[in-house]
């Protein structure tokens, strides 16, 4: 049968990455409290393609995932990248897993347990003769209370939900929960899935006692990541969905590579 993919390209330009996107698969992830948890990931896989080849073998990427039954962590991700390199005879391989990660949280006053889902992304890139590069991204909702609004108002202040997006490269093992906790402790308040009236009172009072600009939140997170012994690089973005403004507020910090 004719193999069109291996035929010469009429435009001899190398492609940095070609592959598949938005394939959904079940996965297992390490869980600090339960050992591991099950989730469903949306994955992207790819590899480079030399100028001399017309196309890549997409089906081989699907086969790689179909035969992959490992718990998702850095060591198994490295094996997956090596398998992609081998199957596609590529110099570079790339994979990303986007998945919800769940934690049980207790409401602050009543201690009622509720399940919170956090969007996470784990990416890996492998270049021939080099170490793989892994990046973990965690997206966490928080609450902010405007310090300016509180200072100039006779009563109250405007408050809103914000999203903090943290990406890290690690030089040692750290739980996903650690980064979620760093983010949640850096804003005016956490966000909860279940709140009774007593809990709403506690959340509101605590949040108004800790007003934060997005600048405060992004700096608080960056400071804690810089002090984390297993973080070698970080990027922090905070976007506040302003309740009284027609725009969102935004802040961003990216580190230099920290000491190994």
Q: What is the pLDDT of residues 211-232, one digit of tens each?
A: 999 999 999 999 999 999 999 9
Q: What is the pLDDT of residues 154-209, one digit of tens each?
A: 788 899 999 999 999 999 999 999 999 999 999 999 999 999 999 999 999 999 99
Inter-residue long-range contacts of 119-123, CB under 8 Å, 24+ positions, other chains counted? 120/176, 121/96, 121/97, 122/72, 122/77, 122/96, 122/97, 123/94, 123/95, 123/96, 123/97
pLDDT at 4: 59
| Superfamily, domain 15-254 | Urate Oxidase; (3.10.270.10)
As a whole-number percent, the residues of the chain with pLDDT over 90 amount to: 78
Distance in angstroms (rounded) separating the CA atoms of residues 86 and 88: 6
What is the average pLDDT score of the chain? 92
Q: What is the pLDDT of residues 125-135, one digit of tens each?
A: 999 888 999 99
Structure tokens at 5: 């993919």
CB atoms < 10 A from the CB of 158, how many?
A: 15
Relative to beta strand 231-240, strand 189-190 is unpaired
């Amino acid at each position: 049968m004719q193999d069109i993919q291996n035929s010469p390209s009429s435009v001899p330009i190398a492609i940095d990455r070609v592959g598949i996107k938005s394939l959904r698969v079940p996965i297992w992830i390490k869980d600090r409290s339960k050992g591991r948890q099950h989730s469903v990931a949306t994955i992207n896989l790819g590899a480079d393609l030399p100028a001399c080849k017309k196309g890549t073998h997409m089906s081989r990427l699907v086969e790689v995932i179909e035969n992959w039954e490992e718990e998702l962590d850095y060591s198994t991700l490295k094996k997956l990248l090596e398998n992609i390199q081998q199957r596609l005879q590529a110099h570079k391989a790339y994979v990303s897993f986007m998945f919800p990660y769940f934690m049980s949280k207790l409401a602050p006053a009543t201690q009622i347990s509720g399940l919170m889902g956090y969007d996470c992304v784990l990416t890996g890139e492998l270049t021939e003769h080099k170490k793989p590069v892994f990046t973990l991204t965690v997206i966490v909702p928080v609450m902010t209370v405007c310090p300016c609004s509180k200072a100039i108002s006779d009563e109250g202040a405007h408050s809103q939900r914000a999203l903090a997006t943290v990406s890290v490269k690690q030089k040692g093992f750290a739980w996903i929960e650690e980064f979620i906790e760093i983010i949640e402790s850096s804003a005016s308040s956490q966000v909860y899935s279940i709140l009774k009236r007593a809990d709403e009172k506690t959340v509101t009072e605590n949040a108004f006692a800790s007003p934060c600009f997005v600048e405060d939140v992004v700096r608080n997170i960056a400071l804690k990541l810089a002090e984390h012994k297993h973080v070698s690089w970080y990027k922090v973005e905070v976007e506040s969905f302003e309740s009284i403004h027609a725009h969102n507020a935004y802040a961003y910090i990216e580190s230099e590579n920290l000491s190994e």
